[in-house]
């Protein structure tokens, strides 16, 4: 039986909206994309001397292991020109595994749930849009509950409705 997982996407270099859509399409060649959030224009977090980001979240069904899913995400980043220079800096595309079923994983290079997702409005707003009932396995709270209790004041604005669910 496929695992339900959520992947956060972000871009702020090049045609960010097109890059996010392209990344979703590439994911769809390897996993079953069940829902795609709207696109959100978001203020940069961590490293501020950069353009705003376009962010989204996808819900997938997959038989890939968490490590295989990570490899897929990294391959898509590489295919779309991702280079890693400045931590939290500008990027063509970023794919992060947010949740993988109800699993908790802490391995070298792979931590699930994503360690900062509960603190990031740019993750929780699109996640709550497509999966308000998704539960953070360590905190025991839904995406909607986490979003409601968030103190992050970074700007996150829905800029294009993309939402599709199967």
Q: Which of 21, 26, 82, 120 is catalytic?
A: 82
Radius of gyration over alpha carbons of the chain, in Å? 14
Q: Is 84 marked active-site?
A: no
Q: Which of 21, 26, 91, 120 is catalytic?
A: 91
Tokens of 49: 């001397």
Q: Is 52 marked active-site?
A: no
Q: Is 63 marked active-site?
A: no
Distance CA 15, CA 12 (A): 8
Q: Which of 94, 104, 121, 152 is catalytic?
A: 94
Question: How far is the CA of 151 from the CAs of 15, 97, 131, 154, in angstroms?
Answer: 30, 23, 20, 9
∠ CA 105-95-161, rounded to 5°: 120
Of 90, 85, 52, 58, nearest to 72 (Cα)? Answer: 58
> Would you please indicate which residues are annotated as catalytic (active-site) residues?
82, 91, 94, 96
């Amino acid at each position: 039986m496929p695992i339900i997982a959520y992947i956060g996407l972000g871009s702020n270099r090049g045609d960010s909206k097109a890059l996010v859509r392209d990344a979703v399409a590439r994911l769809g060649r390897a996993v079953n994309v069940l829902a795609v959030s709207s696109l959100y224009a978001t203020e940069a977090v961590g490293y501020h001397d950069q353009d705003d980001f376009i962010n989204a979240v996808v819900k997938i069904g997959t038989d890939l292991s968490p490590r295989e899913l990570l490899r897929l995400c990294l391959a898509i980043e590489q295919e779309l020109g991702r280079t890693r220079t400045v931590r939290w800096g500008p990027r063509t595309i970023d794919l992060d595994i947010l949740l993988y079923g109800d699993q908790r994983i802490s391995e070298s290079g792979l931590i699930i749930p994503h360690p900062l997702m509960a603190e990031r409005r740019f993750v929780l707003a699109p996640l709550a849009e497509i999966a308000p009932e998704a539960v953070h396995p360590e905190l025991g709270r839904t995406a909607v509950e986490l979003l409601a209790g968030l103190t992050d004041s970074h700007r996150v604005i829905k800029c294009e409705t993309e939402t599709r669910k199967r």
